[in-house]
Structure 1
Amino acid sequence: MKSTMKDFVVEPEHTALAIGSGGLEVLSTPSLIAYMENVCFEWLQTQLLPGYSSVGIQMDMKHLQPTGVSEKVTISIEVVEKNEQKVIFNCLATQGDKTIGTAVHKRFIVETKQFLNKINTL
Structure 2
Amino acid sequence: MEISKVFIVKPEETAEFVGSGGLQVLATPMLIAYIENVCFEWLENELQDNETSVGVHIEVSHLKPTKVSEKVNIVVDIIEKTDRKATFECAAFQGEELIGTANHKRVIVDQSSFLKKL
Q: Distance in 2 between matches of 1:99 and 1:58?
A: 22
Aligned equivalent of 2:24: 25
Q: Distance in 2 between matches of 1:45 and 1:118?
A: 22
Matched residue type, 1:28: A
Matches within 5 A, 1:28-67: 28-67=27-66
Q: TM-score, with normalisation over the residues of structure 1?
A: 0.96
Counterparts of 1:71 and 1:61, CA distance in 2: 20
Give me the CA root mean square deviation: 0.4
Q: How does 1:61-76 map to 2 (within 5 A)?
A: 61-76=60-75
Q: CA deviation at 1:35?
A: 0.1
Q: How far 1:58 moved relative to its partner?
A: 0.1
Amino acid corresponding to residue 108 of structure 2 in structure 1: I
Three-state SS of the structure 2 residue aligned to 1:93 is strand
The aligned residue for residue 102 of structure 1 is 101
Distance in 2, Cα, partners of 1:105 & 1:40: 8
Take 2:104 and 2:117, find their aligned partners in 1: how far apart are those partners? 23
Which residue matches 1:78?
Answer: 77
Shift of 1:3: 1.3
Corresponding position of 1:6: 5
Question: Which runs of 5 or more structure 1 residues have no equivalent in the other structure?
Answer: none
Q: How many positions carry a matched residue from both structures?
A: 118
In 1, Cα distance between equivalents of 2:33 and 2:39:
10
Structure 1 segments, 4+ long, off by >4 Å, are none
